[in-house]
């Protein structure tokens, strides 16, 4: 693997497309994993009636404001050669970036999903139970009722992940291959490179691409929500 700085005009489309692909892969995977981890937690906290429930919710909400560079530093300590996960060889790989974005996106998705779950009335849970639902059926019914809030949570988590720069710069290393295509360089880290080197036009192009990506994902979310609302109402 070769480490080499790249310039957008030289590498052209390959450079640009590889950066977009790495950005989508890292953030998409991190958000998918975060969603899988967040929903059970949101359901457990939302359904549960246990001592310290408020404290748990407060911790989750506090996690939304984790500074990304601190998360990056902690993940680096975790995956570095001397760290507990050092043997896995994750440092300066997309997997380490996924891990750090997972840490950043999970509190966001959990917190917003928790609000969505808690907004589903107890009467709906009782109805699902009374109709013969098992605990799993009741949980699914609640997720279904909270689906618009959960879609919003996933979008917010994606927004947090894709626009984040500090932690992935630390754990990913902002690496490109010798052919100029990206290994761990994303749209945000590429923008920092372009800005640092005074190539503002290239930075703006990458910034516009990042905005377009976020807008596109949000549009997709809105479309899903509007499609869901329309179903059954005709």
Partner 1 sequence: MSPPDRDDGVEQAARRREDSADSRRVAPARSTDERAPTLTADDIRYAYGDEPLFSAASLSVAPGEVLTVVGPSGAGKTTLLGLLGLFRPPDAGTVRWEGRDVWGRSDEERLAIRRRIGTVFQEPALFNESVARNVGYGLRVRSSWRDRLRDAAARAIGRTDPSDRVREALETVGLAEKADRNALSLSGGEAQRVAFARALAVEPDVLLLDEPTSNLDPRNTAVLEAVVAEAREAGLGVVVATHDMHQAERISDRVAVLLDGTVIETGPPEQVFDDPDDPRTRKFVTGELLY
The contact set with partner 1 (CB under 8 A) reads 121, 123-124, 126-134, 137, 141, 144-145, 231-234
Are the CB atoms for 84 and 75 separated by under 8 Å? Answer: no
Q: CA-CA distance, 107 to 178, in Å (whole number)?
A: 37
Q: Which is nearer to partner 1, 10 or 123 (CB)?
A: 123
DSSP 117-182: HHHS-HHHHHHHHHTT--HHHHHHHHHHHTHHHHHHHHHHHHHHHHT--HHHHHHH---B-TTS-B
Q: Which is nearer to partner 1, 87 or 123 (CB)?
A: 123
Closest separation between CB of residue 144 and partner 1, Å?
A: 7
Closest separation between CB of residue 217 and partner 1, Å?
A: 21
Q: Which is nearer to partner 1, 9 or 144 (CB)?
A: 144
Token pair for residue 94? 């997309």
Closest separation between CB of residue 124 and partner 1, Å?
A: 5
Closest separation between CB of residue 233 and partner 1, Å?
A: 4
Q: Which is nearer to partner 1, 25 or 129 (CB)?
A: 129
- The one-character DSSP state at 108 is H
Q: Which is nearer to partner 1, 79 or 143 (CB)?
A: 143
Pick from 65, 22, 214, 43: which is nearest to 125 by CA? 43
Pick from 225, 206, 110: which is nearest to 156 by CA? 110
Closest separation between CB of residue 137 and partner 1, Å?
A: 5
């Amino acid at each position: 693997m070769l480490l080499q700085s790249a310039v957008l005009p030289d590498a052209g489309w390959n450079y640009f497309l590889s950066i977009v692909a790495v950005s989508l892969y890292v953030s998409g995977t991190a958000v998918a994993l975060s969603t899988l981890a967040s929903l059970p937690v949101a359901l457990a906290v939302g359904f549960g009636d246990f001592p310290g429930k408020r404290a748990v919710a407060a911790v989750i909400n506090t996690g939304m404001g984790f500074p990304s560079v601190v998360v990056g530093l902690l993940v680096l300590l975790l995956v570095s050669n001397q760290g507990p996960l050092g043997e896995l060889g994750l440092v300066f790989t997309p997997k380490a970036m996924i891990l750090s974005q997972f840490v950043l996106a999970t509190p966001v998705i959990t917190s917003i999903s928790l609000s969505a779950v808690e907004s589903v009335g107890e009467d709906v849970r009782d109805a699902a139970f009374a109709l013969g639902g098992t605990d799993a059926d009741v949980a699914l019914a609640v997720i279904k009722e909270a689906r618009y809030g959960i879609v919003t949570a996933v979008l917010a988590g994606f927004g947090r992940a894709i626009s984040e720069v500090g932690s992935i710069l630390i754990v990913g290393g902002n690496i490109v291959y010798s052919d100029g295509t990206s290994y761990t360089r994303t749209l945000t880290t590429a923008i920092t490179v372009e800005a640092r080197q005074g190539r503002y036009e290239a930075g703006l192009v990458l910034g516009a691409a990042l905005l377009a990506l976020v807008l596109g994902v949000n549009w997709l979310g809105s479309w899903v929500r509007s499609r869901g609302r329309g179903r059954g109402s005709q």
